[in-house]
A and B are shown apart, each in its own frame.
Chain A
């Protein structure tokens, strides 16, 4: 027997659903508002343009220039995506179009395992392998002096981290394209490569953009692995072999020791706000492209 009758249970259940929905819908707003309220102290004394484009970061003398961090974050993310995007796209096409089915069955769990490794492990691996590789081999080979802790190291570790996520989505996207579409193109006398290039990739384009956008957002927000290998030097990087500093690393490194300096905590909150705003911007751009290419 039930405590309530059918109609009452219906009301109770749907009420909970609405509450959950509201919670989900308003959480980002609450986050935004909270961060804004906390950083308003900083925004009161400095103009937004100053904060974003000024290059000097000296909290002890009241100078808060976020430009090096923004540039550092963008460098790391873009280089990571330049590595990730082609690797994932080619791998996804290969495993879905060229290999036998059982290969994918073996590969899927392997990718999932990679996706589940904590980021600090990737960071350690970066320190032990990537950083020495860059400082001892890659740098000297190219005739560049570098200590290894660099934008490139961070981008490399980052791309290894996000490849499993992006790859998994891309594989699903290519698998969801009906075989009949492939057959249609092949029956016209197209080669397999022509079919992939003109038909499959085109059909998958909205999904491919979404997958890359997802990877981009993850890369931009990744904290631990990046701060372990990026060098954490507040300076505008001149090449990928220079060290840099990212927004998430700034927050993670300094939160806790900022209490003695006025406005420091407000500045870190502003960094978080910037991070949120940039992620939002990425999302909007991605959405624009998805809608644009989704008409086919």
Chain B
């Protein structure tokens, strides 16, 4: 394959007490592509995503083992620069969670964490990231309003802009359109299509059609295991495993 690998997941196991949530996960995530992690609810997709930016640290009951290599750096072993590490990745969650501040400050807070305090630069970058997230034109006059006043779809794009504002290399998206109306979903999908030139995108979804629309690579997971992975043509066009065929055929969910 002519693609460079951005994230290499090797033998990843996650236990919560005695139940195993993720079983021997091995995935290669290519750079500047959209990799869709597909699977029914409760198959461990979200946990996998949380391993990538070490949000698993918040849950002391989770035992994580294995390797996640991002450019020769095993992030599961990183101790000191966990904050830097998280800034390598922008997170977009299932529902938008705007920070309790103004629209402007939602972005400015992320910039501040990145070390940008200069007001002029902040101003320029807030505008830049809102434009990137396809939101600027709608809210340019409302920057000083509380972020919670935006519609859900706008909030989700604000969260995307906020995620981009830490200047990540990777975007992690956890069913980012599941709470949105079709038009807002389309907005997000289009934005992702543009962003993949600059970012590596990992998108978790259970929507087959969404996967088909925007994926370059597909990883199909079921009950904590990777069943099949490959390019979207391979997995959708010619699935090798029985379970993948059944899921794609809509026979089980």
The residues of A with any CB-CB pair to B shorter than 8 Å are 100, 178-191, 194, 198-199, 202-203, 205, 295-296
Which label, helix, strand, loop or mixed, suits the secondary structure of the A interface? helix
Q: Which of A178, A189, A194 contacts B114 (CB 8 A)?
A: A189
Q: Which of B53, B86, B100, B146 contacts A199 (CB 8 A)?
A: B100
Q: Does B91 contact A (CB under 8 A)?
A: yes
Q: Which of B101, B113, B165 contacts A194 (CB 8 A)?
A: B113
In the bound assembly, the distance between CA atoms of A85 and B218 in angstroms comes to: 53
In the bound complex, do residue B93 and residue A188 qualify as a contact, i.e. CB atoms below 8 Å apart? no
**Chain B residues with Cβ under 8 A from A179's Cβ?**
58
In the bound complex, do residue A186 and residue B101 qualify as a contact, i.e. CB atoms below 8 Å apart? no
In the bound assembly, the distance between CA atoms of A295 and B102 in angstroms comes to: 10
In the complex, how many angstroms separate the beta carbon of B121 from the nearest chain A beta carbon?
Answer: 18
**Chain B residues with Cβ under 8 A from A198's Cβ?**
99, 101, 109
In the bound complex, do residue A183 and residue B100 qualify as a contact, i.e. CB atoms below 8 Å apart? no
In the bound complex, do residue B58 and residue A188 qualify as a contact, i.e. CB atoms below 8 Å apart? no
Counting chain A CB atoms within 10 Å of each CB, the highest count among B84, B101, B114 belongs to B101
**Chain A residues with Cβ under 8 A from B163's Cβ?**
187-188
- B window 125-181: CB within 8 A of A: 146-149, 159, 162-163, 165-166, 172
- B window 160-210: CB within 8 A of A: 162-163, 165-166, 172
The residues of B with any CB-CB pair to A shorter than 8 Å are 53, 55, 58, 60, 83-84, 86-87, 89-91, 93-95, 97, 99-101, 109-110, 113-114, 146-149, 159, 162-163, 165-166, 172
In the bound assembly, the distance between CA atoms of A176 and B94 in angstroms comes to: 18
In the bound assembly, the distance between CA atoms of A70 and B109 in angstroms comes to: 45
In the bound assembly, the distance between CA atoms of A181 and B106 in angstroms comes to: 12
In the bound assembly, the distance between CA atoms of A154 and B91 in angstroms comes to: 51
In the bound complex, do residue B110 and residue A188 qualify as a contact, i.e. CB atoms below 8 Å apart? yes
In the bound assembly, the distance between CA atoms of A49 and B60 in angstroms comes to: 61
In the bound assembly, the distance between CA atoms of A186 and B50 in angstroms comes to: 12
In the bound assembly, the distance between CA atoms of A184 and B155 in angstroms comes to: 13
